[in-house]
Amino acid sequence: MARIAIIGAGSWGTALSIVLHNNGHEVTIWSIIKEEIDMLKEKHEHIDKLPGVKLADDMTFTTDLKEACTGKDMLVLAVPSPFTRSTSKMMCEYVSKDQLIVSVAKGVEENTLMTLSQIIKQEIPQCRVAVLCGPSHAEEVGKCIPTTCVAGASDKATAEYVQNIFMNEYFRIYTSSDVLGMELGAALKNVVALAAGIADGLGYGDNTKAALITRGIAEISRLGVAMGGKSETFGGLTGIGDLIVTCASMHSRNRRAGIFIGQGKTMDEAMAEVKMVVEGVYSAKAAKALGEKYGVDLPIIDQVNLILFENKPAADAVKDLMLRDRRDENGSFGWE
């Protein structure tokens, strides 16, 4: 049995607490929001974000970050990506040398272009960092629906430790050393999922969705490889797998926000409708900046930025994507 704290009581953190408790671990859930912790203590259910999913009576709920971090074998950092840095700063004084932090949010910081594990290591230099991501909606994981994810770390022992802590008969975990590729796939797919939702909001069909998913993973792979990620990662669970589920499911807050935008709402109105952090909005500018920094063409991501931040009509963005210069699908094949 391991002693584990979930830092962040949103839908994903709550769902993972159920996995970990089912695996026999001692679980503490922390939130900075007192009303959220009071609700969990009283109802043993996150009424707002995971209604109907009950939490065990022997879980601990707290707003005391020192209590949450101290003496734990693992800290699971599950706050939304825009709050990763500020939360890491608060945690630092309570994290012991080589204490393991598993980052489970998805995003790239806009002003620094850093991944979340890089932010954590910068703010908490004494810790060890791993990541956990893949095609995994909290609404399904909380109900113990079969799901697969990947545990990533710079060393095999840490990745396998995370794998063993989380894995069970409905939550299968693979391992990977390509932490950068995993995090880029997880973050950038949210931007493409916004595009997929926008297409749905415009009333387009399955052909359009398939094109966005396929060309979207091509963009993500080009950028990821240019930055040092492995091409195989983007063909796996944290690449195309995560992209498919996020573009296709109504559990996806990014797709839902995109639908509202496609129907004519502004970015702010769409985010208000979804009522949760839409991480693709926060990663969109960072993705565009990374493309410019590494000289990688990102047409879908560029058009999403124009829609979000420059009020470009969504239908015009789709038209401009369709009328781009003619080209081969894969220029590396050559011709006889």
Which residues are tagged catalytic? 189
Q: How many CA atoms lie within 13 A of 320 on its CB side?
A: 14
Residues 202, 207, 210, 211, Cα dihedral to 10°: -80
Edge-first strand listing for the sheet containing 128-133:
60-62, 26-30, 3-7, 74-77, 100-103, 128-133, 147-152, 171-176
**How far is residue 137 CA from its own chain's centroid?**
10
- Euclidean distance between the first and the last CA atom of the chain, given in angstroms as a whole number: 61
